[in-house]
Structure formats: C-alpha cells, structure tokens
Amino acid sequence: MPDQNEFKAPYIKIEDIRAAADDFRKKHWHSDNLPVDIFEILEFELNIEVRTISNLREAGDVDALLLGNLKTIVVDQSDFLNERAQTRLRFSIAHEIGHLVLHADIFAKINYSSVEEWIKFFQKIPDDQYTWIEQHAYEFAGRLLVPREKLIERLNDAVSIAERRGFDAWDSSGESAREYIAHGIARHFAVSGQVIEKRLVKEILLRKVYT
C-alpha cells in the first residue's frame, strides 16, 4: 500500500485531459444527443456497479468514490434517491470516471477493503497532491458532460436570446449576465449553471465571436 505522505499526483496537461474526455465520450456514448447519459455508460459500457452508502458525504466530505477494484463507484444514498440531486450526482460520477481514465494505476494500488479506509487514506494525502488529482477529474467531468462544440452551439443561441432581452453587453457586464447565460444553457446538458460557467471560462468562450 502506498505511503500517503509520498503520494505524488501525475503531471497531465489540460489539453491531454480534454482530449481524453472527448475520446472517452466518442468511444462510450454512441449518440449525438444531449445530455450524455452517464448511468447508461456505467451499466452498458463500463460494467461498473454503483453502490449506495448512507451519510457518505458526512463521513468523508465526498459525493462519490471510485474503489480500487475499478469496478465500483460508491455514492451517497440520499443523493441517489433524491430526484433533485441528480444533476450533482451525474457530475460526481463523471468525476470518478475521470479518476478511472486518468488515475487507474494510482487507484489500483490503494485497494482497501472498506470505504472508511479509503476516506482516511485520501484525507492524509498532502493537500497540494490531492488538489491536483481532483482538478484533473473536475476538468475531465466538465468536458465529458459538456462537449465543446455543443457548448458553442448553445452559447450562440443563449446569447441571441439574452441580447434580445437587454443583455447587449452580457460578456463584459459581470456575474449576473454570465449566470443568466449559463443557467439558460445548463438544462440542455443536465449539469448545474456553475458547471457551465466554469466551462465558458475554461474554454475561453466569453467573447463576441464564437468559432
């Protein structure tokens, strides 16, 4: 079992993470439709079990966790059963798939038998290293659920609507306009408005001409 204090996150360029997410989507989501059905991918493409555990978030401040067998994702039971939490749950599972794709070799070495041991292990990893692997998975999940080309299409439509409603300088008028645009787009991808805002910033799409 690896020593938490010696844990090192791999260096992965953001371009490579995005390419990995795009490749994964093309391979496992056999449709051009939105939203990407992450549960269908888990069941029919990856053969990964979703196991529910009560109070997972309270126990470890996590919404989901990929186990070392690389065949099980543990999720918080209350989220799984709550229809209003499905958007968050979808992103959490996509995040864990990011770990599967980007960090499989790391997770396979941490094969604890209980979720509690897993949580304790990750809580003892140096903060900077934990932040790196989490940022990798966040970027992967965002790109997986929000394909860039589809985002541009929806953004152009949303901007046209916003401008007709008075947001004629929406891209430079602050958070309220950006939130308005993002929440109008989010429902098409079944993600939160915050996820769309981050994609808009990260993909450098906040400008007047979209190509």
Domain's final residue, options 145, 160, 180: 145
Task: Read off the pLDDT band of 208 (50, 70, 90).
Answer: very low
The answer to whether 10 touches 135, Cβ cutoff 8 Å, is: no
Q: Where are the alpha helices (DSSP H) in 29-126?
A: 38-40, 56-60, 77-81, 86-108, 115-123
> Would 162 be classed as within a structural domain?
yes
Q: How many domains does the chain have?
A: 2
The percentage of the chain sitting over the pLDDT mark of 90, rounded to a whole number, equals 61
In this prediction the pTM is 0.91
Residue 21 pLDDT > 90: yes
Q: In degrees rounded to 5, what are phi and psi of residue 82?
A: -100, 115
Average pLDDT, integer, range 61-75: 91
Domain's final residue, options 145, 166, 192: 145
> Would 6 be classed as within a structural domain?
no
**Euclidean distance between CA atoms 59 and 17, whole angstroms:** 29
The answer to whether 139 touches 202, Cβ cutoff 8 Å, is: yes
Domain that holds residue 50: 11-145
> Any idea what the CATH number is for the domain that residue 128 is in?
1.10.10
> Would 1 be classed as within a structural domain?
no
Same domain, 195 and 161: yes
> Would 99 be classed as within a structural domain?
yes
> Would 211 be classed as within a structural domain?
no
Same domain, 135 and 175: no
> Would 46 be classed as within a structural domain?
yes
**Euclidean distance between CA atoms 150 and 146, whole angstroms:** 7
The answer to whether 110 touches 2, Cβ cutoff 8 Å, is: yes
The answer to whether 64 touches 96, Cβ cutoff 8 Å, is: yes
Same domain, 112 and 23: yes
> Would 74 be classed as within a structural domain?
yes
Least confident of 26-35, 57-66, 111-120, 167-176: 167-176
Same domain, 106 and 161: no
The answer to whether 106 touches 162, Cβ cutoff 8 Å, is: no
Q: DSSP for 156-209, please give it.
A: HHHHHHHHHTT-TTGGGS-HHHHHHHHHHHHHHHTS-HHHHHHHHHHTT--SS-
> Would 19 be classed as within a structural domain?
yes
Number of CB atoms found within 10 A of residue 32's CB: 8
Domain's final residue, options 105, 128, 145: 145
Residue 1 pLDDT > 70: no
Same domain, 101 and 112: yes
Residue type, 206: L
The one-character DSSP state at 29 is -
